[in-house]
Structure 1
Amino acid sequence: MIEKYSKQFIGGIWRDGSSDIVYEDVNPFNNEVIARFKLSNKEDINKAYVAAKHAQKIWAETPAEEKKKVLLRAAELFQERKDEFAQILVKETGSSFLKSMGEVLSIIEMIKDAATYSDRINTPVMVPSSTPGKENLIFHKPAGVVGIISPFNYPLFLSIRAVAPALAVGDAVVLKPDLQTQISGGFIISEVFEQAGLPKGVLNVLTCDMEEVGDYFVEHPIPSIISFTGSTAVGRHIGALCGKHLKKVALELGGNSPLVVLEDADLDQAVDAAVFGKFIHQGQICMITNRIFVHRKLYDEFVTRYVEKVEQLPYGDPMDQKVVIGPIINERQIQKILQYVELGKQEGHKLVLEGQRIGNVLTPFVFADVKNDSKLAQTEIFGPIAMIIPFDDEKEALELANETEYGLSGAVFTKDFERGIEFARQLESGMAHVNDQTVNSAPNTPFGGVKASGLGRYGGEWGFEEFTSVKWVSVQRERRNYPF
């Protein structure tokens, strides 16, 4: 099933990359090689961008109904093949079946929403003018060619959320998914859109070794927009490169998302949400619940219930649909997570649940009485380590929650909805949720962060703005009198 995805997709042609490097794509649970790829090099990147530039001119002029037809057909194909693609995600990413199926279903809705952009691109917005007889028209145009770099953790979702809106508005795309998840983050996407009737060259997918190609993918002169999802450190570098070359950039970066349980919260609801929000996909999500703040009135009972629930989470081979905790993506990440556990012990935090390593699976670790200014609490933990922190009042909770360089997502639990909304508004984050956990997304809402969590927004009208350029056209319908 998976072995057929072993080629790069450049200019509408499936072929080997031109690099001498052959990459082995492995199942992170058992290290089984599931596919081998001859990677792309700078020559292939150039060919992909040139093909995209040529195809984009034609695609931009394609009637809106035809663009919508392609996108909606792609959504249908994902629906028809959802079980197949969910299994690929399980096998290539180590995702649980629940997470994998949810990922496939979510991108179907995302593509359908993006399809509506095709109509909007030709519909001007009128704004008033203070000049007598003047009419102001605001047009959106395709930006041109978009370079997209997506990560390993939610590869299908995080690729499609940039690919779909870019295609819908008339852009062409060169997509570079993470090497570890290049099938689910790249090649099933190119296959589906090819079958949906997308013209050759409008979507190109390639993978390469960064030591071989360096910054060429970003610095190439053709793309006018770079969309990157990944670490803050790499995002800062890409942002600097885009600034240097005056390219528009969308960056969705790291997070250290707080979940706050106020004294009037429904404790059962808060515990359930905090477990899900921390341990979905083993914690390998940018907006995962990283720090859990609980009012002292509820603190001891919350910790007890939380640990009891976490201890019951089934772990192991994600091919078993009952499994919740599957493998970590690679050995380097496993070692990094275990180092964080040792750091937590050294800093004196209370380890109320000690996980274990079983093959490539790490079962959950839970630290209580964590100090918010500790190195552990201030680090984005991309793994199954929960941190619980007590607070005395709402003001302190807000200060602690905002005490981080990141600002991606947040959550607050209270029975007073208006209180919750006001608290959520004061969280320094691009997204915040009342009586829900931090891992949320909807195709018609703005997704993105503030501070070190990034720039720009995906989704809804905000995503439409990201992948278009804006032009003001004025019409003077009456003769204008000039001062000279």
Structure 2
Amino acid sequence: MASAKVYPCIINGEEAGTSNFAVTSHSNPDEIIHHFAQLSVSGENIAAIAANAKQGLKDWTATPVPKRVAIFRKAMDLIKERRQEIFNSHMEIGGPTWFANVNVDGSLGQIEEYASQMSRPEGQIVQSGHNDLAMAVKSAIGPVLSISPWNAPVILGTRSICAPLAAGCSVVFKSSEKSPAVSYLLVKCFLDAGVPPKALQLVHVAPQDNPKFLEQILATGVIRKVNFTGSTGVGKIIAQECSKYLIPYLLELGGKNVSIVLDDAELGAAAGKILFGAWAHKGQICMSTDKVFVDEKIYDQFTAVLKNVAAEMVKNPDQKISQRDCLGRDKVLQLVEDALAKGASLLFGEFNKEEILKTNVIPPMIIEGVTAEMDINFTETFGPVFTIHKYSNIDDVVEEVNEHDFGLKAAVWSKNHIRALKLAKRLEIGGVHINSPTVHDEATVPHGGVKSSGCGRFNSQWGMDEFMIIKTITIHE
């Protein structure tokens, strides 16, 4: 894509923005791939966006549900027509081809599922001893501020837009400065499909202006909910800012995701899927496996299988992993250096700091011998590195996992499904997948975390309900 390309904000259906902000290649920081026209964070601009969102709520809720469904399906058609452009914009983040396809297909699945949910009953009749009729009716919570990250921008951007829209809300969508092109293309698809221009607006903000933008738009009193997907650190800032105005939030944040290999696991299948869950998209997925617990009775056997499968994965270009251009390079370097300096060792892979700094390439690694004193034991790596731990008592594993600050995803590996199910129920985790990797998300299945991994749920009826309120209506003659 030519460096002169500029992706503007879209305010009330009109392209807008002031000075251009350069977006650089994720593999070469000296290469400008395009620009975005950033919003000038002034009181006047924020007030206009808020006023539009307020009117957009009225415009969108006045749109009959069958027409909203038709608009969603038209948006799907436009995404299919513009697939190559959206695919190319995703590839600019440095991810592998397969992951770009997963993102585009996943976004279509999200829209399809939310479209199907819009025709569900509006509420229900409830018992009342004091009225002739009592109803619990669901309605849109109001204008929503949606913020999604760069690492899976198509699917995460789509759900940030279509979940509140499906509930009847208007949306102010703030892009990531690392993937503004995707956000622009997605918003255009929804607007061209027929979403009222005030009901969906796109804002690009320079990184240094993000705090000011958040504070000012929440201070207008128009935004009734914030949904954010991203790091735990930023999520905590957003939660604190929302609390000042008693604005609820949906947060899908980081994870220190774990796999637990029981002594009766199918070792070959577990090894391959664990490696995929840890190394796919360079480990830069919120659901990526960070920590693997293995029963001591099978530890040596499992690690031998794991190393063999890992070696095949790394040398086979068709495998769904990538070693290139990890954006979190310095963080991963620090975590690995700290662990090795304190006595951990590499079970698989090589660590050459000079080479990593020179090439900006972090090779996949597996680290064993990790202790509680090492930062990597409790910090999300967000890179192609995971740790492996031997255990003798499963109760100790459950206690350790439940003591973690994070609680997004876990995987359990066992041939005994009932045994695995009982273990899954004990884990304080938002999603547990038995004999499947931690990287697991579908439009029909609720997704979200607990503790420092966030609150609330995306996807299907659960995601739609996040942006609705329950209103009680009674009738008495």
Same fold judged by TM-score > 0.5? Answer: yes
Is 1:109 aligned to residue 109 of structure 2? yes
Task: Please name the residue that 1:52 is paired with.
Answer: 53
Q: Indicate the larger mover: 335-344 or 408-417.
A: 335-344
Question: Structure 1 residues 139 and 5, CA, compared in 2 at 3 Å: closer, same or farther?
Answer: farther
Question: Structure 1: how far apart are the matches of 2:192 and 2:417?
Answer: 47
Contact 2:131 2:474 in 1 (8 A): no
Q: Within 1, Cα distance between the matches of 2:21 and 2:315? A: 29
1:171 corresponds to which residue? 169
Q: 1: CA distance between counterparts of 2:238 and 2:23?
A: 26
- Hey, what does 2:144 align to over in structure 1? 146
Structure 1 Cα separation of the partners of residues 409 and 372 of structure 2: 17
Following superposition, the deviation at residue 39 of structure 1 comes to: 1.1
Could you tell me which residue of structure 1 aligns to residue 473 of structure 2? 473
Give the corresponding residue for 2:186: 189
Does the 8 Å contact 2:133/2:475 carry over to 1?
A: yes
Superposition pairs of residues 414-429 of structure 1, within 5 angstroms: 414-429=414-429
Q: CA contact under 8 A between 2:367 and 2:387: conserved in structure 1?
A: yes
Judging changes above 3 Å, is the alpha-carbon distance between structure 1 residues 141 and 297 closer, same or farther for their aligned structure 2 residues?
same
- Secondary structure of 1:448 counterpart: coil
Cα shift at 1:104: 0.9
| Alignment-derived partner of residue 214 in structure 2 | 217
Name 1:460's counterpart in structure 2.
460
* Cα drift, residue 247 of structure 1: 0.8
Deviation (angstroms), 1:390: 0.6
Equivalences, count? 465
Q: Deviations over 1:74-133 (max 9, x none)?
A: 112223333432222112x1111111101110110110111134323x62212223x165
* TM-fit CA distance, 1:371: 2.4
Query: 1:176–1:326: structure 2 CA closer, same or farther, 3 Å change rule?
Result: farther
**CA distance 1:298–1:213, shift in 2 (3 Å):** closer
**Which residue number in structure 1 is paired with residue 243 of structure 2?**
243
Query: Which residue of the partner structure matches residue 125 of structure 1?
Result: 124
Structure 1 CA distance, aligned partners of 2:374 and 2:361?
Answer: 26
| Residue 268 (structure 1) shift | 0.7
User: In 1, distance between residues paired with 2:80 and 2:37?
Assistant: 30
Alignment partner, residue 351 of structure 1: 346
| Counterpart residue number, 2:337 | 342
Q: Give 2:438's aligned amino acid.
A: T
RMSD across aligned C-alpha pairs, in angstroms?
A: 2.2
Hey, what's the Cα distance between the residues in 2 that align with 1:272 and 1:78? 33
Task: Tell me the CA shift for residue 206 of structure 1.
Answer: 1.4
Distance in 2 separating the partners of 1:443 and 1:355: 38
Aligned partners of 1:233, 1:133: CA distance in 2, in Å?
Answer: 48
Identity of aligned residues (%): 29
Q: Is it true that 1:38 corresponds to 2:37 in the alignment?
A: yes
Aligned mates of 1:312, 1:83 — CA distance in 2 = 31
Work out whether residues 96 and 326 of structure 1, in 8 Å CA contact, stay in contact via their aligned partners in 2: no
State which drifts further: 441-450 or 365-374: 365-374
Note the 1:265-304 alignment, pairs <5 A. 265-304=265-304
Asked if the contact 1:140–1:468 (Cα under 8 Å) also holds between the matched residues in 2, the reply is yes
Q: C-alpha displacement at 1:326, in angstroms?
A: 4.6
- Find the aligned partners of 1:328 and 1:467 in 2 and give their Cα distance: 36
Is the 8 Å Cα contact of residues 259 and 293 (structure 2) preserved in structure 1? yes
Deviates more, 1:414-423 or 1:153-162: 153-162
1:171-212 deviation digits (Å, cap 9, x = unpaired): 11111121011112x111112112212221211111112423
**Mapped partners of 1:141, 1:75: distance in 2:** 25
TM-score by length of 1: 0.91
Q: TM-score, normalised by structure 2?
A: 0.92
Q: Which residue matches 2:26?
A: 28
**CA drift at 1:53:** 1.6
Instruction: Report SS of the residue matched to 2:449.
Output: coil
Question: Are residues 294 and 323 of structure 1, via their aligned partners in 2, closer, same or farther at CA, if it must alter by over 3 Å?
Answer: closer
Task: Return 437-446 or 63-72, whichever deviates more.
Answer: 437-446
SS in 2 for 1:341: helix
Distance of 1:270 and 1:170 partners within structure 2: 42
Paired AA for residue 258 in structure 1: V
Q: Deviations over 1:449-470 (max 9, x none)?
A: 1111111111122112111122
Provide, for residues 124-173 of structure 1, a one-character-per-residue CA deviation record: whole Å limited to 9, x for no partner. Answer: 212223x1654321111112210011111111222211210211222111
How far has the Cα of 1:315 moved from its partner?
8.3
Partner of 1:482: none
